[in-house]
Structure 1
Amino acid sequence: MLYLLGVLVVFVGIAVSIALHEIGHLVPAKLFKVRVTQYMVGFGPTLWSRTRGETEYGVKAIPLGGYIRMIGMFPPRAGDGGRLRASSSNPLHLMVEQAREESLEEVGPGDEDRVFYRLPVWKRIVVMAGGPLMNLAISAVLITLLLTVQGLSVGTPTVSQVAACANTDVADEDCDGQPASPAAEAGFEVGDTIVSVDGTPVEDWASTTYAIQNAGEQATFVVERDGSAQTLTADLVLRERPLVTAEGEPVLDDEGELVYGEVGFLGASPTVVNEPQPLTSVPPVVGEMFTGTAGIVLTLPERMVDVAQAAFGAEERDPNGPMSVVGVGRVAGEVTHDGLNGLVETAQERFWLLVSLLASLNMALFVFNLIPLLPLDGGHIAGALWEGVKKTWARVLRRPAPGPVDTAAALPVAYAVALGLLGMTVLLIYADIVRPVQIG
């Protein structure tokens, strides 16, 4: 039941995100007096619709997208009013002219100044950018709630668990043939709060880890236990592990790879608490999510090759790689049902993890829709920007203003992109079924 609840929450969240994305287009279009004939969430057969004023609002059977229909999306071909050239034998020309004709069929008497292509460049950019910006706003709001209400998980220097033996699993109590962990041998107890390491005060687990990392083979700890200070000396076990900074960040080399070194192993785990963050922490987190998502989108062809190799071969899926809606739903269901390897257990923690997932999805919708290719919003924005450049150049050279950029001419590219997106979706769904991403 919990599994289905998680899937349902994410699918409803995706549907709401799509609906709000289209509202991001709808509101500025109506403000700029463009006639909008349809506002639809989903594709395929219409399940429900109502007409209010001049716009039909509805829901379709496949809730994996949406659209608004504005009259005059494509300008008429210069010199002929946009009439279909029946004499053309080029199928691409016929396809373009047919789309142009259909776009102009909805333009009735009195609508000449309410067509999309007649809007000033900046208004067209506002209309087309409104959808992606709505997704960015949703992502930012969800991240704000995560940081200010739930807070970030922070490790405190209070010990929550003491390893029984010197192995890598703190929770493993089977010490057959293994020595006791340095923490157990030194006399650490659950509830001890580490105050200093080798005379260096520590305030959180990041600074504690950094001090242990640089302590060598032995470290002296001052801990607070039952209101009194005690001194414990631990003979650390040296192991090859990733190095961290005093702030708890991993040390990276010039190529962005982890730097390893011999560091001390104590065998104690921190108590993790959620600390609400100030509003000033939101912009950096949103920026990091944006750059990370943009990095995935920019390397999408390479990542799709990796997905194909995993789907049809023996390789594991990249946990940070792309997933389909099926994969996202599966992750949501598993997290809601099983938690996340001891890190996410309570209902509250699972709820916030779903919120984080929806924030990431909306950031992905924002970045992906800005790709400057039709039929994506970024393609229309790029066309408007190009028209703005041409008109500005004409003014500089004191030449007559050029007409609207003929975005209909790019429809063959748009259809090719659409086919590519369909193929990518099919591959991701297949991979998410036969070799899903392993979480945790």
Structure 2
Amino acid sequence: MNAASGAPSSEPLERDASRINARDGKIDAGEIAIGVIIGRTSEFFDFFVYAIASVVVFPQLVFPYAGPLVGTLLSFAVFAVAFIARPFGTALFIAIDRRFGRGTKLTIALFLLGLSTVCLGFLPGHEQVGHWSAAMLIALRIGQGVALGGAWDGMASLLSVSAPEKRRGWYAMVPQLGAPIGLMVASALFAYFLSKLSAADFMDWGWRYPFFVAFAINVVALFARLRIVVTPTFQAAFETLELHPAPVTKAVREEGGDIIIGAFAPLASFAMFHMVTVFPLSWVFLYTDEAPSRFLMIELIGAVFGLFAILASGWLADRYGRRALLAVTAAGIAAFSGFAPQLLDGGPAGELTYMILGFILLGLSFGQASGAIASSFSLTNRYTASALTSDLAWLFGAGFAPLAALALSGRFGLVAGGAYLLSGAICTLLALWLNRELAKERASAKA
């Protein structure tokens, strides 16, 4: 679909991927799932490397003049910038997709993501360049956000096309496995350097290595994704418009209401996402004497429970329905918000309990959060509308979660963080109810 002569192209990479496909034969749903996991793991690894550094590095490196709490809040404000930039990245790369093809789009997006991430590893501190350090941090974070918008590949839709009819929930959770895997790798890397290096050496050079690892992982993920993009299954889905990148304006005009509902449906999952990853690390780092490396290992243990909970969500969704599972887990998250503050403030045993319970609830809800409302979109708009829904869900549910939770908890105590989590659960329940009512109206109109 490369229309313009001399236009940027990923054709050599696509040809290499095609040769592998020709040699190995048709790629089945299992192989597609592996490619999806590799791709999403690379994205979430980049995400968590930055998230951890936003707590243990950037407040001291970029905002040393602001003090520990305000410096962390400023770091979280920059963290949110990527989520604001992400919808713009989606619009830009959908235009590239329509003009030059999905292979070109993914190549540019993933190289931009890897380049932005690895450049963060060379970031100078405030002591070296003053406020230019913050300006560079913001610019690179925008680059990450734009790239993440472009990295949307429709793989969840492709898995739905390839999956057996009665195992759609199982295959829907596959892309979400990248989150706990990416967190485990990022946490292990930072925990290693924090525990093995002096504080001075870690702040001087140790924190930079996880960012350098990201670029190599992204290259592997790029080839894994390109291999899928050129499969007959993917091309057939594209030709039937299942994965057709409709113009953003058209998708918003025709699917705007469902996009908004879809953005709020997984709000409990995405709020919980940060309440068991970024926020508790910041709270422990700022308000306890506990070593961050130790808490990162607790996060790694929690992520293992989260991974198995995501797997369980696939079976439960196929048995009881995806929306029912999201509703039940949203209610569970609401209940968890009532005693979560006491657990997180309850010492090592309380922290471990908080993380394990939190990750189990997160896994069950996050496992089915992707595309919960996608079936409401028309086929011609599903690819673009799903991408925009994902962008807005991350923006509303996750982008400002660490900033809001830490600001509220720092001012009013941990109970305010629990209230923030409760608000996300309420929004999810309302969105699911509204989606069900709209579905009833559509069914009545067709009758």
TM-score range, shorter chain: under 0.3
Name whichever structure is richer in strand by fraction.
Answer: 1
Name whichever structure is richer in helix by fraction.
Answer: 2
Structure with the greater alpha carbon radius of gyration: 1
Higher normalized contact order (CA 8 Å, seq sep 6+, divided by chain length):
2
